Amino acid sequence: MDVVDVIRAKRDGRRLSDGQIEYFIRSYTDGSVADYQAAALLMAIVWRGMEPDELAKWTAEMLASGERMDLSSLSAPTVDKHSTGGVGDKVSLPLAPIVAACGAADPMLSGRGLGHTGGTLDKLEAIPGFRVDLTPDEMLRILSGVGAVICAAGPGLAPADKKLYALRDVTGTVESIPLIASSIMSKKIAEGTDALVLDVKVGSGAFLPDIALARQLAETMVQLGEAHGVRTSALLTNMNTPLGRSAGNGLEVTESVQALSGRGPEDLMEVTLALATEMLALAGIDADPASTIEDGSALKKWKDMIRAQDGDPDADLPEATERRRIVAESSGVMTKLDARAVGIAAWRLGAGRARKEDPVSPTAGVVCLRKPGDEVSEGEPLLELHADESRRFEPAIAALDNAIEIGPEAIERQPIVLERIRT
C-alpha cells in the first residue's frame, strides 16, 4: 500500500478503507511514514472530515497502537471524567475523591496545561512531594486502596496519538472534530474504565466557543465511547466566565481543598456535583455525592490520595512574592468577566506555558475577588494578580483590557450546565 494513495483518497473526499487506516496508523507509529506525509493526510481530514464508521476504525487503530490498561482486578466499578479544558477548571481535583468516597474507582489520567488553559498535573505538582509519574502497578495499588488516582498517562497508551498530537500542534490541524474526538477517546478508552463522562466546555475560555461545534464534538465522542464498549455521556458546561474564584496552579489546589471542606464557590460545586452524579449513574452506584462533603469522607479520600502519591496534604503551599490588584473603574454590577482574558493573564503571570517543555510557576495566577452578578463600587478590588516577578504584571494587565464590564443593573445568571448528551 502507498501512503500517497491514502492521502489522495482523503484529499478527493473518499472514505478511507479499513486497510488504508490500519496501514497509515501502524506505519506512522513505527516511523515508516514521514511527518510531512502524515501532515498532508491530517490536513485532508480537516477539510474533508470522516464518516462515523471511518472515524470509529481510525480511533480503534490509534487505541491498538499501544496498551490498554487492565482494571479487572478491582472490585469497585470504574469510571472517569475528561474535560476539554477551561480557565479555573480545577474540577478533577475534588471530583476524583468525591466519586471514590461514593464507592467508585477513578483512574484519572491527566495532562499538563498549554496556553490559556491550565493542566491538572501542573496544579497537583504545587503540592510538596506529589508524584504524577506512576507505574501501572502503582496505579492499581492506589486505586485498590484509595479508589482514586490522578497521574500522567504512561508511554504505552495510544502512542499513535502522541505522535499525531505533536504533529497537529505545529501544522495547523488541531481544529477538526474527528481528530479531536479520536485523540481524546483513544487515550480515555485505553484507561480501561467501564464508564466515562465528558465535560465539554463552551464559551470564550473554552477550546470550542461555539455551542453547535461543542455539541457535535460531544456527540461524536459519546458515539466513539459506546462503540468501544465504554458507557459514555457528556455534559456541555459554561466557560464564558472563569470557574470558581482562582486560575493558577497552587491557587486552584487551595480552592479545591476548600470545596472538599464545604466552602467551595457555587459554580464550581454545581459542575463538580453534576459530573459526580453522572459518573455514579453510569457506574451503577446509588449515592449522593454532596453527602461526602458534608460527612468529610471526600476530604479524607483527597488526603489519602495525596499521601499515596508521596505528597503532603497538610503542607503549606508556596505563595507568590508579588501581588497587584485590578480595581473597578465605576460603581454598578459586574456583567462580564471574560474567561479567556483571565486565562491569558494567568499564563503571562507564569501559571501556563507556551511550549510543552516550558516550566510553570506553582504560585502565579489570578484570584477573582468579584464575579458577574456581584455589586461593585468604584475603586473596589476585582482581581488579584499573583506572580514571582513584578515584570510579569504589565503584559498580564494588558491581557485584561476589556475583560471586565460593569453595568447599572443586575444581570440574569447564566446556567452552568447547559446540556446532557447520551446515545
CATH code where residue 133 lies: 3.40.1030.10
Distances from the Cα of 157 to the Cαs of 202, 219, 245, 390, in angstroms? 28, 24, 34, 41
The answer to whether residues 347 and 304 belong to one domain is no
Average pLDDT over residues 371-383: 97
The answer to whether residues 104 and 172 belong to one domain is yes
Given 308, 340, 363, the domain boundary residue is: 308
Element (H, E) at 367: strand 365-368
Catalytic residue among 80, 106, 122, 161: 161
The answer to whether residues 88 and 197 belong to one domain is yes
Catalytic residue among 10, 57, 81, 82: 82
Inter-residue contact 399 to 332 (CB < 8 Å): no
User: Could you tell me which residues come within 8 angstroms of residue 277 by beta carbon, excluding any fewer than 6 positions away?
Assistant: 289
Higher pLDDT, 1 or 215: 215
**Residue 149 included in any domain:** yes
**Residue 418 included in any domain:** no
**Cα distance between residue 289 and residue 114, in whole Å:** 31
The whole-model pTM stands at 0.94
**Residue 61 included in any domain:** no
**Residue 96 included in any domain:** yes
Residue 388 has pLDDT above 80, yes or no: yes
The answer to whether residues 138 and 272 belong to one domain is yes
**pLDDT-based confidence at residue 6 (cuts at 50, 70, 90):** very high
pLDDT digit string (tens) for 194-209? 999 999 999 999 988 9
Distances from the Cα of 317 to the Cαs of 97, 148, 231, 252, 352, in angstroms? 20, 22, 38, 11, 18
The answer to whether residues 101 and 200 belong to one domain is yes
Inter-residue contact 255 to 366 (CB < 8 Å): no
Structure confidence at residue 153 (pLDDT): 87
- Number of domains the chain contains: 3
Structure confidence at residue 242 (pLDDT): 97
The answer to whether residues 177 and 276 belong to one domain is yes
The answer to whether residues 268 and 241 belong to one domain is yes
**Residue 419 included in any domain:** no
Cell of 66: 499501544
The answer to whether residues 30 and 144 belong to one domain is no
- Does residue 82 have an active-site annotation? yes
The answer to whether residues 195 and 101 belong to one domain is yes
**Residue 73 included in any domain:** no
Given 282, 308, 334, the domain boundary residue is: 308
Catalytic residue among 10, 112, 168, 245: 168
Distances from the Cα of 176 to the Cαs of 83, 168, 208, in angstroms? 17, 10, 11
3-state secondary structure 230-249: CEEEEEEEECCCCCCCEECH
Catalytic residue among 110, 182, 183, 361: 183
CATH code (residue 45): 1.20.970.10
Catalytic residue among 187, 201, 231, 348: 187
CA dihedral 291, 295, 299, 304 (to 10 degrees): -110
The answer to whether residues 247 and 170 belong to one domain is yes
Residue 114 has pLDDT above 70, yes or no: no
**Residue 72 included in any domain:** no
The answer to whether residues 133 and 253 belong to one domain is yes
- Does residue 168 have an active-site annotation? yes
Can you give the residue range of the structural domain that contains 220?
Answer: 79-154+162-308
The answer to whether residues 275 and 359 belong to one domain is no
**Residue 412 included in any domain:** no
Average pLDDT over residues 292-308: 98
